[in-house]
């Protein structure tokens, strides 16, 4: 009889420990999220790069406010070498024309259970030939995402982000 009572108590304990399901407290967590936050910045191509490279940079972000401009700074050490400004998170940079596209940005909204927060998965194409870079240099990249009203900004900097090299010699 003690054996059956022991089994019953063990089964009851196991059921109470593992039968509950945990759900995220959406209403409690969402207000604690920042209004705008860049969460990641990177690329999948192999470095070093020649000056003819078009680098695809990926970014992730969350926003509870409408988004505005997006700025990418290329730095050598702490000196800004080039600034690329995108008026919005989708489209060409400010220096592109109807005939020449220098740099582009785009995003996809990801599914989220937060009703007032959007999750962005984006990419930026940077045309090195339009950046005025030098050979045999290592550059940092600073991305700054702005809210539409300009008062909120989130910045991520990746030091030693990419290196440039001379193109291979022709045979």
**H-assigned helices in the chain:** 2-18, 26-29
Q: Output the pTM of the full model.
A: 0.82
**Both tokens assigned to 136:** 């045999």
Instruction: Report the candidate in 99, 81, 72 with the shortest Cα–Cα distance to residue 158.
Output: 72
Contact 69, 146 (CB under 8 A): yes
- Superfamily per CATH, domain 34-163: Immunoglobulins (2.60.40.10)
User: Residue ranges per domain, the chain?
Assistant: 34-163
Q: Which residues contact 161 (CB under 8 A, 6 or more apart)?
A: 139, 140, 141
pLDDT in tens, 34-90: 999 999 999 999 889 999 999 999 999 999 999 999 999 999 999 999 999 999 999
């Amino acid at each position: 009889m003690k054996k059956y009572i022991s089994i019953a108590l063990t089964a009851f304990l196991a059921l109470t420990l593992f039968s509950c399901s945990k759900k995220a407290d959406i209403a409690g967590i969402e207000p604690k999220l920042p209004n705008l936050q860049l969460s990641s910045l990177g690329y999948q191509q192999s470095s070093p790069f020649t000056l003819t490279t078009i680098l695809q940079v990926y970014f992730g972000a969350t926003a509870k406010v409408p988004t505005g401009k997006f700025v990418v700074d290329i730095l050598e050490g702490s000196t800004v070498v080039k600034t690329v400004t995108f008026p919005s998170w989708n489209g060409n940079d400010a220096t592109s024309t109807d005939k020449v596209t220098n740099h582009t940005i785009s995003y996809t909204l990801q599914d989220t259970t937060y009703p007032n927060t959007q999750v962005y998965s984006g990419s930026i194409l940077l045309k090195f030939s339009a950046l005025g870079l030098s050979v045999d240099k290592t550059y940092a990249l600073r991305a700054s995402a702005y809210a539409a009203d300009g008062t909120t900004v989130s910045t991520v900097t990746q030091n030693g982000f990419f290196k440039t090299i001379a193109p291979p010699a022709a045979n």
